[in-house]
Amino acid sequence: MKRPHNVTDQQLAILGVLWDRGETTANEIHAALARSAGFARGTVGTMLHRLERQGIVSHRAEGREFLYRARVARQDVMEARLDGLVGALFGGDLTAMVSFAVSKSDTRKEDIDRLRKMLAERQDRKGRK
């Protein structure tokens, strides 16, 4: 299977529908994305076919329709995409990415407090190992 972070943003939108709904038809995916992403019906079919070739999506026939489902977990795709982003933009330096994110002028105090709490919890878990 192709690494899940190699999916395009359009394919990621389709996967989002599949993760939310479990198993669904191409028509239902199109209906869910037509307004927000402006997907044509044919685009959805093409993307599903490409995702299936990559082993990221599978389908089964039910009557005259195909029901599609994701074969990769949302968490796996998120981790792979984040690894790719950190590698491409920050040379693999996670600290540099976090530093960049919190240095933005619109970072709220609540966000910084949550980060501190998460880091403290992570440190506690590592200390117990």
Mean pLDDT in residue range 85-112: 89
Report how far residue 89's alpha carbon sits from residue 67's, in angstroms, rounded to the nearest whole number: 37
List, for residues 73-83, the tens digit of each pLDDT value: 999 999 988 99
Please enumerate, as own/partner, the contacts of 82-86 that have beta carbons within 8 Å and a separation of 24 or more. 83/5, 84/5
Whether the per-residue pLDDT at 59 is higher than 80: the answer is yes
**Rounded CA separation 126/79 (Å):** 20
In this prediction, residue 105 has a pLDDT band, given cuts at 50, 70 and 90, of confident
pLDDT at 38: 80
pLDDT in tens, 108-128: 889 889 989 998 998 888 777
User: pTM for this one?
Assistant: 0.79
Cα–Cα distance, 95 to 99 (Å, whole number)? 6
